[in-house]
Amino acid sequence: MHDRRSRLFTIVAPRKIWRIAPREATPSSSATAAQGRVSFVRSARVADNDGKPLLLQAEQHGLSPQCGCRMGICHTCLCSLESGAVKNLQTGEITDQAGAMIQICVSAPVGDVSVDL
């Protein structure tokens, strides 16, 4: 597959350098105004919300949640939202239903949030 892709790029755009790399979801500009606390229920840890995706915040506080692509494709990081609201950083959709399954790699807390981690 890679060999075919290289040949295609050479034929179509021989003078361009193509770099394909996974990208992580990044917090919006409102991340600097993040408020509230994030509760990781199963691990009994609480942290100040810094506006970053929940996966990054969990890792910063010593947790090792399951994850794969880190950009909302593989669904390996699904986690139950216990309370509060999160914003999907890819779609802008707000989820606030307790028990909803969220992708923590692309979900940032909106205020106080509790997740089953």
pLDDT reported for residue 94: 97
Higher pLDDT, 1 or 54: 54
Q: Cβ contacts of residue 4 below 8 Å, gap of 6+?
A: none
Please check the confidence at residue 18 and state whether its pLDDT lies above 70.
no
pLDDT reported for residue 34: 77
* Answer CATH for 22-115 from 3.40.50.10210, 3.20.20.370, 3.10.20.30, 3.90.740.10: 3.10.20.30
pLDDT reported for residue 32: 42
Where do the domains of the chain lie? 22-115
Please check the confidence at residue 117 and state whether its pLDDT lies above 50.
yes
Tens-digit pLDDT profile for residues 59-95: 999 999 999 999 999 999 999 999 999 999 999 999 9
Higher pLDDT, 48 or 1: 48
